Amino acid sequence: KGERKTHPPVELKPGDLIEIFRSCYQHWAIYVGDGKVVHLAPPCKCPPSLKGEVVLAALSDRAYVKKDWLEDVVRKDRYRVNNKHDETHPPLPVSKIVRRAEELVGREMPYNLTSHNCEHFVMELRYGVAMSDQVGVRGKDRVTEAIAMGTVGVMGVAAAVIRSMAQRRKHRKE
């Protein structure tokens, strides 16, 4: 389907956890090989440039397991391999991680920012334990901040629409 855009080279192995740095949170995926990742995504058909996963996810209790090109998921954001719990939780065999990830592609899953998010999803695939550092004490602050930023954005759009409507009414009266 055409050429893939490239980020700086990162050594990737199947089963690696990929941490993607969005503006105010991290999105997580698991590398399954051949430039592809499996990740949990909100139910949105919007173009990637318009997606705000955190805001969309906050409005939904469902998400979908997707398999996409790593570069399409990362977009213009920074990312890294982050198998951060390997020392405390031995990873499952790579073949099992990849098989489980592939079997889930296309499935609808429960979603909750604090208990069933994309980080919980990939951690369970790699370690067999669903966990998320984004929703610890520090993580709850990040989630709250992301929701607040989304709310402020929606309020800003609403204010602009109301202002525009008021100006139109004023011009009609004149």
Tens digit of each residue's pLDDT (9 = 90 or more) over 86-129: 999 999 999 999 999 999 999 999 988 888 899 999 999 999 99
Q: Which residues are catalytic?
A: 27, 39, 118
Distance CA 27, CA 152 (A): 21
Residues of the chain with pLDDT under 50: 1-2, 47-51, 137-142, 148-149, 152
Buried b (16+ CB within 10 A) or exposed e, 24-51: ebbbbbbbbeeebbbbbbbebeeeeeeb
What are the backbone dihedrals phi and psi of residue 112, each rounded to the nearest 5 degrees, phi first? -155, 130
**pLDDT at position 43:** 77
Are residues 34 and 69 in contact, defined by beta-carbon separation less than 8 angstroms? no
Helices (H), the chain: 53-58, 70-74, 94-104, 118-127, 137-173
Q: Which residue type, as a one-letter code, is found at position 130? A: A
Domains contained in the chain, CATH given: 17-132 (3.90.1720.10)
**pLDDT at position 47:** 47
Distance CA 6, CA 169 (A): 50
